Amino acid sequence: MAEPPLLPLKENKIAKGTFAVVGIMSTLVIYGILQEKIMRVPYGPNKEFFSYSLFLVFCNRITTSAVSAGVLLASKKALDPVAPLYKYGVVSISNILTTTCQYEALKYVSFPVQTLAKCAKMIPVMIWGAIIMQKKYQGQDYLLAFLVTLGCSLFILYQGAGDISPFNRGRESTVWGVSLMIGYLGFDGFTSTFQDKLFKGYDMEIHNQIFYTTVCSCLLSFTGLILQGNLLMAIDFVSRHHDCFFDIALLSTVATASQFFISYTIRTFGALTFATIMTTRQLVSILLSCLWFGHPLSWEQCIGAVIVFGSLYARSFLKTKEKAETKAPGGS
């Protein structure tokens, strides 16, 4: 008689899991395809390329800040800052540099290369974690970091023949693209580590941090566009190319939606499940990009991808096993 009540609970968990997986996979896969299309595919009969990365950052952040403010007001939570404003500013500056490096890198390396390189973000996270949070890591963490670095190196150094970019200048562009990706990884690792420190140092609600960080990002990116003289040029471009305007609007929408799906997944299922979903999303994104935009993969790149994703799935499996072993003594 005790079993029937468990069935609705199990079905509810499956429904929540399906909602999280579909939400993250759909928004981030669309986001990946759109950012490559905007930065690498020409618009209009004159084949003009969009090159205003900071404008994309501004559009993304203003959409996210508006939605997070709406969520805070709807839930009747205070809009007052919890931490000093300069700390939100630090996260914001780092986040702008992260996103700008990400968009600029797409001019010089293909989306599959960029996506796989993102898998190496655990390395700067470990470095910043040791510096900022004084964290200590196990031997298997360093081994995993080495394997992911090896796989990413193979994927970047042995690119398939015929992968053409309008900004391509041969080997120099690859070096510049890789430099931008290193910048992306370094700034992204700092951003997530500093955000973690803010959450642990202050009783901070996630939408509060998103709101103040994105508002700071809006002001900084807007200022950057004015100083560069690119704001009117970017507006002129999207006013002449309505399909580009639609792409940017959709990019900002799915970027904002993905933030809330990510928060929901971590809160409901934990960071480990989220990491597994993200690994799968990256694999799907690479395969879709290769099919959609015709990126050829060399056999060395295939080996690199197997090493990276194999290592990440092995990590998820080992963490799940450790978690089960830790719970076992209490449950027996």
pLDDT of residue 169: 42
Nearest residue to 29 via CA among 187, 244, 261 = 261
Answer yes or no: is pLDDT of 241 > 90. yes
Residue 133: pLDDT band with limits 50, 70, 90: low
Contact by Cβ (8 Å): 128, 193: yes
Residue 139: pLDDT band with limits 50, 70, 90: confident
% residues pLDDT > 70 (the chain): 76
Contact by Cβ (8 Å): 151, 159: no
pLDDT of residue 211: 85
**111 vs 220, residue with greater confidence:** 220
275 vs 268: CA distance, rounded Å: 13
Residue 1: pLDDT band with limits 50, 70, 90: very low
96 vs 101: CA distance, rounded Å: 8
Render pLDDT for 17-55 as a digit per residue (tens, 0 to 9).
788 888 888 888 888 889 888 988 889 888 898 989 899
**108 vs 242, residue with greater confidence:** 242
Least confident of 135-149, 165-179, 237-251: 165-179
Residue 167: pLDDT band with limits 50, 70, 90: very low
Contact by Cβ (8 Å): 165, 40: yes
Residue 171: pLDDT band with limits 50, 70, 90: very low
Render pLDDT for 252-283 as a digit per residue (tens, 0 to 9).
999 888 877 877 776 676 555 666 676 667 76
Residue 112: pLDDT band with limits 50, 70, 90: confident
pLDDT of residue 164: 47
Nearest residue to 211 via CA among 55, 54, 85 = 85
**42 vs 156, residue with greater confidence:** 42
105 vs 148: CA distance, rounded Å: 20
Mean per-residue pLDDT of the chain: 77
Render pLDDT for 316-327 as a digit per residue (tens, 0 to 9).
777 767 666 665
